[in-house]
């Protein structure tokens, strides 16, 4: 901790050097630790001029430190939210498959994948039924079209709900 003695900051004071090193008023007031095994503390070596009273260097400006921490927190929050959502989704999906078939939820999941994959093919096939209908009566064509459209609608609804 930076000591204040007679209103002046003292750096690196310890039992072996109780007087420490007085503040250099051209430099940032932040206290930094020595590198490696050097356990002493020193006044930051960078020029001051930032933050409240211009007492800090750029990277020790409390506003800058706060913004940096907040940015890191935001990234962390976003990642946590994403992985939580993913986990919840997977948990819900597995739970639903287990409810359908407790002995083999994997088979249920595979069936759903197959159903989704075959959806486009089914839609195409249903559309194709319409084509040779030219010879049929208009009432029958209309009826068939209604049935096809209704089936597609139901399938789309089921898919949308499954997503």
Q: Out of 10, 44, 55, 148, name the contact with Zn ion by CB under 5 A.
A: 44
The residue (of 54 and 162) whose beta carbon lies closer to Zn ion is: 54
108 binds Zn ion (CB under 5 A): no
Q: Out of 9, 11, 20, 28, name the contact with Zn ion by CB under 5 A.
A: 28
Q: Out of 20, 30, 55, 97, name the contact with Zn ion by CB under 5 A.
A: 30
Residue 137 has which token pair?
């009566």
Task: Provide the Cα torsion 54, 56, 73, 37; round to 10°.
Answer: -170
Say if residues 50 and 38 touch (Cβ distance below 8 Å).
Answer: no
Least distance from C-beta 42 to Zn ion, angstroms? 11
Task: Give me the phi and psi of 48, to 5 degrees please.
Answer: -80, 175
Q: Please state, in angstroms and as integers, the Cα–Cα distance from residue 40 to each residue in 33, 103, 104, following that order.
A: 6, 64, 63
Q: Out of 60, 97, 108, 148, name the contact with Zn ion by CB under 5 A.
A: 60
Least distance from C-beta 41 to Zn ion, angstroms? 13
Say if residues 12 and 40 touch (Cβ distance below 8 Å).
Answer: yes
Least distance from C-beta 28 to Zn ion, angstroms? 3
57 binds Zn ion (CB under 5 A): yes
Q: Please state, in angstroms and as integers, the Cα–Cα distance from residue 86 to each residue in 74, 79, 97, following that order.
A: 18, 10, 17
Chain residues in the site for Zn ion (CB under 5 A) = 28, 30, 44, 46, 57, 60
């Amino acid at each position: 901790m930076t000591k204040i003695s007679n209103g002046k900051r003292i750096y690196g004071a310890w039992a072996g050097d109780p007087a420490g090193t007085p503040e250099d008023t051209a430099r940032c007031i932040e206290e930094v630790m020595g590198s490696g095994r050097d356990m002493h503390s020193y006044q930051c070596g960078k020029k001051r001029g930032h933050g409240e009273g211009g007492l800090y260097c750029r990277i020790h400006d409390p506003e800058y430190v706060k913004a940096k921490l907040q940015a890191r927190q935001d990234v962390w929050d976003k990642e946590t939210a994403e992985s939580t959502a993913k986990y919840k989704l997977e948990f819900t999906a597995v739970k639903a498959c287990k409810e359908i078939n407790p002995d083999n939820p994997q088979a249920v999941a595979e069936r759903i994948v197959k159903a989704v994959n075959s959806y486009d093919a089914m839609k195409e096939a249903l559309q194709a039924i319409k084509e040779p209908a030219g010879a049929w009566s208009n009432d029958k064509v209309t009826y068939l079209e209604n049935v096809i459209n209704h089936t597609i609608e139901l399938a789309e609804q089921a898919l949308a709900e499954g997503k």
